[in-house]
Structure 1
Amino acid sequence: MSLKVALEQLGYPCYHMVECFPKGPAHWKLWEQVGKSEPDWDAVFAGYTATVDFPACTSYAALAKYYPDAKVVLTVRDPDAWFQSVQDTIFGREWLEFLPGTEAGAYLQATINDYFDDRMHDRDHLVQRFHEHVAEVKSTIAPERLLVFEVSQGWEPLCRFLEVPVPEGDFPRINDTAAVQGVIRDVMDRGFQAALGYAG
């Protein structure tokens, strides 16, 4: 989320799960098509010039091929901290048990769960997949297109890579665990449409 906010501050409208969910089932079906290797990337990203995080990050190679002039930022962090973060939010047991019977279940299965072999609470497996993902991105993306980036590094390496001026002010530091937990609880209590407000 910190990178999303930073990219938007730099002038790149940025797609993230927080944009994906409120678009509703018709949009989610576009991600089901991605899972079937039938993507319509221009439809998915209409109005955006960047994307971060799920559901797009598990399709990074296909996206890099489809958008050959795009640059790729690989954010890295402590894998154990990442594991705990996702367990506290999007991989929480109650949430993952809730999703399969919902209209969002298929696209989340195709874009996230399959990527982790449905072993969402297996620390060793997820940390291994974390390391594999980092290695795969580094070996797949040409070095001149790739920035390996830690948010703690701040604006300078990101702006140098994107060839844009460094803005005034500190780099965004967004800790959105509580907000994500609140949205998840609202969806489980009231359903996707009522909680997110998309048209039926």
Structure 2
Amino acid sequence: MQGSESLLREEGGLQVIHTSLFRMGTNSLATAYRMLGYTVFHGLDDMKQETWSLIEEAAEATWPSAPDARPRPPFARADWDRLWGARYDIVTDHGGPFAAQLISAYPAAKVVIVQRDFDEWWPSFRSQLLDPLFSPRAQPFIFLGWHVLGIRAGHAMRKEHFGFFGARSRAEIEANARATYDSYFETVRRLVPEERRLEYALGDGWEPLCTFLGKDVPDVPFPHTNNRKLHSEEHQRTVKSIYLASANRVMPWIAGAAAVALAGWYTVQS
């Protein structure tokens, strides 16, 4: 693996492709990777508006049949660098659905596979990812977020989920869930030779991960973060921060437009 590490240092880009799905311990692994010295992207930590726009572009390029996808060519290495590779060593949660594309774009990267049992994972994914995104209460926020504040988060997540599950509705996501899950992990294992990948189970601790990555084992317990309650709270804080940041950007324009409208009204009244 030494040759691969040397190539990565020369080329830049992702050093490790974390192959897993939302609600499969991605936040705990992101924390662990950071403790080992990596620069890590996790959606709950870094969700700038420009990142959402690029994730939406990636979803459209990867799954052109997703509802409302705009035509665009498949992402090349330069596009993945623009999204993640130029700034991060590892991507956890949002990189998972794009694993096959990232494996192709970064052929020297090591691959860590984390697979939770489907029956344990799916209820968590459904309640923490699908319910907030597709609930009737979320629709006005998605609409206003885009048309008033320019936020693409809801659209990006919808396209990512629809595309990954080969669906055009929430019901189709549910119907396709098990087959997509099985196909995803089968595809990754077919693409990556055994010597380039680590099959990591949640609870394995530091030893197998550090051995695979060539890192010293930290003298601290392995992090365990982001249970369902904590994820929900952190998600709400992230959404709130996105909306507040966007509102702060557009408020001067709204105030200016209001002032012009008011001035026009006074002129008419005069």
**Which category describes the TM-score, using the shorter chain as reference length?**
0.7 to 0.9
| Aligned-residue offset at 1:82 | 0.8
What does residue 171 of structure 1 align with?
A: 222
Q: Residues 50, 187 of structure 1: CA spacing in aligned structure 2 closer, same or farther, 3 A cutoff?
A: closer
Match of 2:155, SS state, is: helix
Between 116-125 and 163-172, report the one with greater CA deviation.
116-125
Amino acid at match of 1:34: A
- TM-score w.r.t. length of structure 2: 0.63
71, 89, 103: which one aligns with 1:49: 89
- TM-score w.r.t. length of structure 1: 0.83
Compare CA radii of gyration and give the structure with the larger one.
Answer: 2
| Aligned-residue offset at 1:49 | 0.6
Q: Does 1:109 align with 2:148?
A: no
After superposing on structure 2, the runs of 4+ consecutive aligned residues of structure 1 that deviate more than 4 Å are 118-124, 183-188
Q: Does 1:28 align with 2:52?
A: yes
Between 129-138 and 99-108, report the one with greater CA deviation.
99-108
Q: Deviations over 1:45-100 (max 9, x none)?
A: 243111112x21111121122222211111011211111111221121x4324265
Structural RMSD (CA): 2.5
Q: Residues 111, 124 of structure 1: CA spacing in aligned structure 2 closer, same or farther, 3 A cutoff?
A: closer
What does residue 68 of structure 1 align with?
A: 107
What does residue 90 of structure 1 align with?
A: 129
In structure 2, how many angstroms separate the alpha carbons of the residues matched to 1:155 and 1:130?
26
| Aligned-residue offset at 1:180 | 2.7
Q: Does 1:58 align with 2:97?
A: yes
| Aligned-residue offset at 1:168 | 0.9
Q: Residues 171, 80 of structure 1: CA spacing in aligned structure 2 closer, same or farther, 3 A cutoff?
A: same
In structure 1, how many angstroms separate the alpha carbons of the residues matched to 2:34 and 2:170?
30
What does residue 41 of structure 2 align with?
A: 15
Amino acid at match of 2:134: L
In structure 1, how many angstroms separate the alpha carbons of the residues matched to 2:133 and 2:234?
11
Structure 1, unpaired ranges of 5+: none
Q: Deviations over 1:92-151 (max 9, x none)?
A: 1x4324265342233213322321225656656323322221111111112221111112
Match of 1:165, SS state, is: coil
Q: Residues 187, 174 of structure 1: CA spacing in aligned structure 2 closer, same or farther, 3 A cutoff?
A: closer
Asked if the contact 2:205/2:222 (under 8 Å) is kept, the reply is yes
Asked if the contact 1:58/1:115 (under 8 Å) is kept, the reply is yes
In structure 2, how many angstroms separate the alpha carbons of the residues matched to 1:156 and 1:2?
15
Asked if the contact 1:20/1:28 (under 8 Å) is kept, the reply is no
